[in-house]
Structure 1
């Protein structure tokens, strides 16, 4: 190579270049060749290809082309325009743009997807300055829209160039010149000087055609403050710089407030607000330190003097005064009360409980002397105490009748009601006292009336069942049976229905608040039948839940079926809350025996044969059948028919007929009642020896007449008797066989005082009651029921009572009303026939 000169080499190169190649490579081969060279490391990694793939270039060459493109575009070009202009993919352009920004040291910015140079911002500032000098003011928003830049980016570009490139001021979002500010200041000064009332800055700017400055309120506020400091305008800038109040307006406000206050002695806060003073209360307290600040107005101290005089006159004359007319109408009752409480006379009157100077503040605006209140409390009497159930309005009306001049006194004319509210507690106490006395008396009368009617109904229902059983025995004689049924319904049935209706009438009167009538006795309730009209009137007064059943029972009085009537009566009684108990056999025998005794007494006094016959037939019927007969009086035909049914031929009854027995049955309803014999046995047992008594025979199941022959002291665990009655029977025939019965005895004891035990002073333990016969009081039926104490449960402290009618009940005898029914001492008794030769059965 040393043999060749430079010229020779250049000539060889030129000839080689001019020589046409005989072998040409395709584009595909070239691409593969370049890739192979890059893979061998012979070519650098920064080798890039164009979008069409026909050219290759380095990153440095692409960076230079991007700089040239930015310069050609005036210092600002979007990145998205580079791929089309340079023929290189956008990714490569973005990478090289970042490299250019890093290496420019702030000379080039990448903002909003654009490459922008500082030279571009300098030109933008110069152009903005030209626009500013022409217009005097430019909003930044207009510049941002013109140059298509963000407000923040534009602000960051303009702010550093203020005073150098841009000759003006930047306030908020405005660019303006000094000449423009001078013109604005002159307009604002003239407008504020001309204002005689408060004006708002936005309204003033709108009137001056300066609405574009409304967003720059700080600029206007600064101008106003500058004018105030220079003394060009006089007034105050309030409301955060949004309201201008001229000094002349404040002077007129003060003059108007002072004039109104001095003329009227008060001024309302609403009046002060209308004059444009917002904090009226604090302003008035500062302007008038001697006044009184109330809730709705500010008043002068002179008003208190007039209130003092009126209060003194009212207390001295023992009347009242309404200070409402003396005070301004704008004051509320609360304001009036506050004023009155500040009066020394009123304060002294309220502290004094009584005396000439005592009084009370009522109805918000009235001072009432204590003497007047005392006079009202004593002047009403019972008439005022009971007026309209002691309502305040009614008491107020009564006070207005006594003092008509109080009608319009007080707040809304409520002085009379205020006095009534003070007097009402005492009146209510008197009213309740009188009402309680009336109620207690009425409740006691209703209770007695209900008890009497309930007993009458029970008695009538028992007689109904008793006579009904007797009528059933005559069912073979249809005519007689029908007559007896009709008579039974129209007599005993009618009595039961009348008692039931009267019982329900007591409840109706109680609900209606009517005073109960005097409670009739059982005899009066049973013998005072109601008329059909009276029954209809009573039914119409009953509640709907009992009206239908009671009406059905009344309708059955006109029928002839005892079964239907009894069902209707029981249903009506159940709806009325009454329990009609069935008549058991033992109780029925007791009633039959008592009725026979009554018939015997009547027979002894009978004189007329017909009357004697009407008494003899029921007696014989009861003797033969053990049942009672309810026959119409003086019914001869029926009597002879009944006599035939009895097979009565004028002879004595068959000897096989057993006398009826007396059952322990229901004891007297009076708690603690005792048979005479029990007292004799407890106090003087020896006095019974030689007496005739009736004793229960368990084997014969009946009472037998016997004579007490001796006294024994034997103790056993149970007493078989159910009571003893003393008698003074005379000597009897000794032809019949005598039988001695030894009544067993157990230790005497005192029954619980709550139960009212039979033997006074007796005490029995719970276990000792087992096997004893007792009578337990049923409050619902208001009567005693007898039975035997079967079992005692010591754990639960309960006694099991087996009643004579078959019922069984578990009771805590310590909480029940009961009494013993057995004898405490044993007696030797001899049974003997009576003087008439028949056994006496109870």
Structure 2
């Protein structure tokens, strides 16, 4: 037999000896050697102690844990086990959890192992305490430091077996004995039987040492079984009173007599009888009757029907009624208000004013109609006197007919986006930018809104003034003069006026603005510029500006180019912006200066008064006009024209541009041919020469003539330059010295200048041929 087989045999014998407890059959030394080899070969599994001097098997550890648990009485902590067995804590915890899983009577709770034996002993101790006291509360057990739910579960499981008692239905943590309940029942029976006057249950329970909840439960049980004569008023011991039958009999007699005679009962009177909860008592006593419970009293059906009948009669006849005379006199102001609200809850066709005065809606509508009948005359007077126009100007941007304007603006947008028939060079440039409202429309200034009242809003110029039909005092005086409202309480006139005024004001605005719109349309028919005219004018100026800006690019000197650009912005660009601003100002009903050309300050102030959605892009255009770059203005105009006034700019058309340049040159030549002023002739000649040599036009005043002549002199002959220089010197000399002797010489120079321009045209035509 090999050593390996011998070790296996010895190991088997050793394990059998270990299990049987007779390991001493082998010598200690052999055991140590064999076990050491077996452990090294992982053929056996042992657990070392903390000091490493001893080891034991899993089965042995389980036996030692159970022994320690038995010695500890069925409950021991894992920490204590680790100290006792001298084994690592984690190993002990692992074995304990395994034991609790395998055995049903073991529980691992809060680092402790608890057995059914311990729980049985605990239940026995609880039972001893229960039998002595008659009641035990689990939460107050000081000697049990286990979780409440765990303890409750196992205590309840032992009720009727180890524990001779039962769980209280009102408190699951309380255990009582039948004898305890019987003793307290007898005590409560004796207490209630001896009482002759209404007494607080809370005071009785406190005096005789009975729990309030138990006292109420037993008292209610005794009353229901008619073991004690009396009633409980109130639903808890804090406010409940016990009323003996003899006393309750006299109470009932008085309550029933008073109720049958008057149809109502006051809570204060019920309280004086010794009833702590009057409302609860009456609900229980008269549960079959439809009582109306108010703040200080309760009304029976007869009293309620009397008030309801008077109200119904007023509603049927379309009049008004003050319900106070029909109500019991004992009602307080709050009771009256509450009763009225209850009665009109299912009657929406009425109006309550002055808390107890009810007006039928047909009556209110008749009053409203009578007042509205006077609106047209008042509106005509305000329109004729200019009151409405003044308010519109001061409010800066009031909408008159928002829907109509929006429809027209949508129609213009569609036409502009669609372009002319056939497209091509004459078509509009299609843009999808900007779909917001323009032309001065303010969504918060619509006087034609159907709401009763709009709060005044702050415009750009301050608080907006509202169009007023009449003041509150005037409306109150009008209501007081109406015969259908005669004898109505004084405070009702004020409340009715407050109720009607918002709707009347809104209606008057509609009538007045409609009348003003009709008058305005008629008077401004020939005054206001149409959108198509604006679009044509802006596009014409835009095309000219674009061609002028193209001509500026021919100037190489930056200083000269900047000065010419400023002149172009000050003239043509300002003209474009003025046309746009005057149009949107009229659209927004803003008062504008009579002059067609606006100064810089007038333009700035006008933009500030425009609605914000128009003012922002308009301000961008204004800044571009005040700038130094014609190209920047051109880009800004192309980006913002839709946002300001819905103008769609035309695309560049080279054929049309060529025709415009040709017509411009012909116009200059015609003017030069008929010109008799030497200074103007020199100006026209300079513009013609610039276009002749560059093919572009330029917008320049007389002070820029030297700049243009210096630009074209390289293209001219010496003789031509001499002619222009002489003419320029003579013009300057005449303007400075006012010398009339130069007129003949200037006429000759002007004639030579015209001849030179004509020859340039002929030479160009000949070269082209």
Q: TM-score scaled by structure 2?
A: 0.44
Task: Answer 1 or 2: higher relative contact order, Cα 8 Å, separation at least 6.
Answer: 2
Based on CA coordinates, which of the two structures has the bigger radius of gyration?
Answer: 1
Kindly indicate which of the two structures has a greater share of residues assigned to helix: 2
Q: TM-score scaled by structure 1?
A: 0.41
Kindly indicate which of the two structures has a greater share of residues assigned to strand: 1
